[in-house]
Chains A and B, each alone.
Chain A
Amino acid sequence: MSPIHSTNVLATVTPLWATAGPWAGKLAFIAVFVVLLIWLILMPGRLIGHADGRPPWWRNARVWAIVVTVIQVFVYLRWG
């Protein structure tokens, strides 16, 4: 690929993103944390050492991870 070609490819790609509008970026960032949130909630307990029973919530890393992720969603919702 020549430099001219690479320039053309990138010049084409960038407007493709740009046409999505300013809300698209905000939505994409929020979506990343929402997907993470769903994964954290649905993850089987045996994969995170909860096979012998769930620990109390204040010692449960999953609970804290969910709290952090929810806060991230609100941060991007407000400041995105």
Chain B
Amino acid sequence: MNASTETSYELLEQDGLETSLLEVSMGPHHPSTHGVFRMDVKLDGETVVDLQPVFGYLHRNHEKLAENMSYLANMPFTDRLDYFNSMTNNWAYALAAEQLVEIEIPERAEYLRVIMAELTRLVNHVALVGFFVNDLGALGTPLLYAFREREKILDLFEQASGARMMCNYFRFGGLRCDVTEDWLDECRRVVDRFPAFLDEYEQLLSENEIILSRTQGVGNLSSELAINAGITGPMLRASGVSYDLRKVDQYGIYDRFKFRVPYTDGDVGDCYDRFMIRMLEMRESIKILKQALADIPEGDIIGKAPKVFKPKPAETYGRVEGPKGELGFYLIADGTPKPYRYRVRPPSLINLTVLRDMCIGQKIADTVVILGSIDIVLGEVDR
């Protein structure tokens, strides 16, 4: 059991002069906070003594909105939670809703769901690594390399769904529209070329001396605390816990693919581990994509779903392994076309629980790196 870490602090008198702690409010317009996010930091010189995250600037009560409209009408709103990963948001919501009724999902739709989710993982991780080194001070170039690759995948999303980021592609029981054979060929080309980019990127970054010295031993997170604080996704695995919902729950058709779950061996869990886990995860995603693209069958893309989605009274909790962690939807149906209760379990918000623990004792400049390695999106934190 880990109660919130208490820090007692005594001010030192130096050369007969009184010293005091400096309170700094970082954000909400600080470029390193990736949106409107604020950290109230107490500093002793350059060292962080206390830190409190402050958010809610983007709060729009997404849950209340969803409770006042039909199940399907809410699908486009899930795109806006974590606007980098609209496909996995859609999937998590569809998965939870499909547990309320019996719908059979066609094979082709299942394969396309996996393909879209893994492409999303590539988009998220490649952008995250770009922003992460951007936070470290490598302004521009690595981020642009990352965005160049991300753009190719966004083009695929655009061809399939009509939108680059707000895809709104999933439906209860399948998908909204089919993809063409040309699309699959283009997707295969993008996937085949991706490892070459990863090699280049990894060569550029992973042995860079500045990155090593800025990230190794910074923001350590023990596995015990990570589990207790509900940390999920790459951040948990970087702390040495092998827990991936694609393996644990095997939702969709993830049991058919051969892939490994990268996790660190030690119990350090520093920023470098979190960076490297993402690089390794991208390679595993490519393995899944190659298998899925080779096996994808012809057929329908949506099962026989009722015109009006009106589940019987029940409660359900559906979760998927999003690129940022466990994304869950908790739904309570009461027999009407609207959900009685709709709740999003946002991985970004819960991963912020340990921000204070990781930052205390570090330098103020390192809080930027630590926050960057958590990978938050404020659309999801604030909802």
A joins B in a complex: no
